[in-house]
Structure 1
Amino acid sequence: MRAYVMHKPGDVDELQLTTLPDPTPKKNWILIEIKGFGLNRSELYTRQGHSGDAVTLPRILGIECVGVVLDGGGTDLIKGQKVVAAMGEMGRKHDGGYAEKALLPRSHVYPISTNLPWEILAALPESYLTAWGVLHETIDISHGQKVLIRGGSSSVGLAAINIAKDHGLHVLATTRSESKSAKLKQAGADEIILDQGNISDIVKSKTGSGVDGVVELVGLPATITDSLQCCRDKGVVGMVGFLGNTWEYEFFPWMPSTVRLSLYSSETLEKNYATPVMQQIVQKIESGAYRPNIEQVFSFEELHQAHRIMETNTASGKLVVVT
């Protein structure tokens, strides 16, 4: 099989296209023929050398993929079954999705029933499962609430807008670039805020007492502190991303009374929770209620180009690679 192997951090050329033996099947691990995968900023940070001991090298990166089962490892999964895989040390402690085949633990492989094209299915797992988790598990949204998506033009941000609007929420979304406002409106955002760093006064002027929840995707100390100020009493800030390119979280903010700060990590995903949620997400995509939010699709040979675009931070939506 072909795979992109990283032996040391550095520029995009450190992702070396290599021919390797196919993974050897083993019990309770699923051998997958990969049909596509989405790119994620955590993979960019790893390539740049910011992941420390969390990633062992050499490594095939990639924290998500979609494809077809080649060997079920003695589990309930059978050859030919369509599956989605995400997280569970994928691309960190064991090889991930930047390959034509992968051997992944059953706990993080989710069988799926769909006829969606591979490039659309590949755009969904990490972005939608993360957005779903922060909205439902961290903020615990309900119909009629107001939510702020801070970093709305990212793939997770766009997915969060789609989910929140479908759930009947009033959605405010931020972007640092006015050129991305149309994409946020298209995704369903009710109000767009141009984020210059301090937006709590703007948010409260639009909502009265503040929003019920904030999906905090920027992750800088200043924006987290400001996002806490955007909330009403007993509001929740769900921290879920580091678009500000600060990988470490090492401060504890002074919070307004009764407002809560929490974290949602897709590392908590496992098959019993993620399988039915992923199936529901796919059905929403099929019905048109959710959008795949794809910025661009690349061939397997164009992975370097895709990484360069991700590094410029100009994409609005998901970068997808098909094998």
Structure 2
Amino acid sequence: MKAVVITTPGGPEVLKLQEVEDPVLKENEVLIKVEATALNRADTLQRQGKYPPPKGESDFPGLECSGVVQKVGNNVSRWKVGDQVCALLSGGGYAEKVAVPAGQVLPVPSGISLKDAASFPEVACTVWSTVFMTSKLSPGETFLIHGGSSGIGTFAIQMAKYLGIKVFVTAGSEEKLNACKELGADVGINYKTEDFVARVKEETGGKGVDVILDNIGGSYFQKNLESLAIDGRLFIIGFMGGVKTEANISLLLAKRLTVQGAGLRTRSLEKKAEIVSEVEKNVWPAIAQGKVKPVVYKYLPLSEAGEGHKLMETSAHIGKILLLA
């Protein structure tokens, strides 16, 4: 098969489409002929040598895919050859075929094309496991998403609105804020021209928001603490603003705040299967009802993975960038 290989750690130009060995199928796995895979920030970090795959997982990038089941392992009962599916991966999505543990495979959501289904597994599993399963964001609460126009952000806005939550977003341009509002965001804050802490306080009568989903990290840590309400929860999933900071942590006590962080890729097979099951139960119905839609910025062939990475690193996109195998 062909796969995108990271020839050496570096810039987008190190991604090359090459002939490689087919994946070896384990007894609890499903072999998928890939239709599409989606880009994630983690892929750009892996390309730079900063985020290696877990031991024993594929060295090729790609944390989600959609496609058709080509083969099933001896211990797999739910899936059969010919099924149209999408899947959460630990790696290997930038390829023509990928082997996936059966517990990380999902049916293509009703009403969604096979290729667009690749835009859902990673964002749905990330947002559902962090914001809903762990931080317990509930109907009637308020929610701030940093980077509202990202793949994670565009999904999180729609899912939160479906569940009756007031959504605040930050983004770096009026175009991105307008896109977020079209998806249902209630309050858009341009972080380049506004202080998001002041705006959150103004919009909540001084209370703050209940949950924040943050991919910025260090540079936003103190501001996030200031933006949270009593019993607020901050969930950190990225470090685009650095990993170090100095903060006044007295707010943690004064407001009974919870700060958490997690990555999806290194979780156990059992935990991933549990998250995938919860996503199918809670998110797939919202997609089937048309309340959560795929937001795809661009489709590129697998051979242009490097162009996709260049685009992602400009942050000019809104939603997901997909590679078609």
TM-score by length of 1: 0.88
Structure 1 pair 289–52 and aligned structure 2 pair: CA distance change class (3 A): closer
**SS across alignment from 2:139:** coil
**SS across alignment from 2:238:** coil
Q: Distance between the aligned counterparts of 1:56 and 1:79, measured in 2?
A: 25
Q: Distance between the aligned counterparts of 1:117 and 1:27, measured in 2?
A: 29
Q: Distance between the aligned counterparts of 1:290 and 1:120, measured in 2?
A: 12
Q: Give 1:13's aligned residue.
A: 13
Q: Give 1:234's aligned residue.
A: 231
Q: How does 1:1-323 map to 2 (within 5 A)?
A: 1-51=1-51, 59-74=59-74, 75-76=76-77, 77-87=79-89, 90-91=90-91, 96-112=92-108, 114=110, 116-196=112-192, 198-208=195-205, 209-219=207-217, 221-244=218-241, 246=242, 249=243, 253-255=247-249, 256=251, 257=254, 258-267=256-265, 268=267, 269-278=271-280, 280-323=282-325
Q: Distance between the aligned counterparts of 1:58 and 1:167, measured in 2?
A: 36
Quick check: 1:69–1:79 contact (8 Å CA) kept in 2?
Answer: yes
1:54 offset after TM fit, Å? 5.4
Residues 244-281 of structure 1 deviation map (CA, whole Å, 9 limit, x = unaligned): 3x4xx456844312111112432345223313513643
Quick check: 1:133–1:264 contact (8 Å CA) kept in 2?
Answer: no
Q: Distance between the aligned counterparts of 1:141 and 1:229, measured in 2?
A: 19
Residues 206-234 of structure 1 deviation map (CA, whole Å, 9 limit, x = unaligned): 10211111111222x12122111101111
Structure 1 pair 206–310 and aligned structure 2 pair: CA distance change class (3 A): same
Quick check: 1:235–1:260 contact (8 Å CA) kept in 2?
Answer: yes
Letter in 1 for 2:182: Q
1:49 offset after TM fit, Å? 2.3
* Count of residue pairs brought into register by the alignment: 313
**SS across alignment from 1:270:** helix
Q: Distance between the aligned counterparts of 2:189 and 2:135, measured in 1?
A: 21
Quick check: 1:111–1:275 contact (8 Å CA) kept in 2?
Answer: no
Quick check: 2:25–2:99 contact (8 Å CA) kept in 1?
Answer: yes
273-282 vs 162-171, greater mean Cα deviation: 273-282
Letter in 1 for 2:26: K
Residues 49-91 of structure 1 deviation map (CA, whole Å, 9 limit, x = unaligned): 222685789921111111121111111132122222214xx22
Q: Distance between the aligned counterparts of 1:28 and 1:281, measured in 2?
A: 25
1:304 offset after TM fit, Å? 2.2
Q: Distance between the aligned counterparts of 1:58 and 1:273, measured in 2?
A: 21
- Unpaired runs of 5+ residues, structure 1, are none
Structure 1 pair 198–274 and aligned structure 2 pair: CA distance change class (3 A): same
Quick check: 1:129–1:278 contact (8 Å CA) kept in 2?
Answer: no
Structure 1 pair 210–57 and aligned structure 2 pair: CA distance change class (3 A): closer
Letter in 2 for 1:263: G
Q: Distance between the aligned counterparts of 2:171 and 2:26, measured in 1?
A: 46
Q: Percent identity?
A: 30
TM-score by length of 2: 0.88
Letter in 2 for 1:48: Q
**SS across alignment from 2:292:** coil
Q: CA RMSD in A?
A: 2.3
Structure 1 pair 53–99 and aligned structure 2 pair: CA distance change class (3 A): closer
Structure 1 pair 272–56 and aligned structure 2 pair: CA distance change class (3 A): closer
Quick check: 2:4–2:302 contact (8 Å CA) kept in 1?
Answer: no
- Unpaired runs of 5+ residues, structure 2, are none
229-238 vs 99-108, greater mean Cα deviation: 99-108
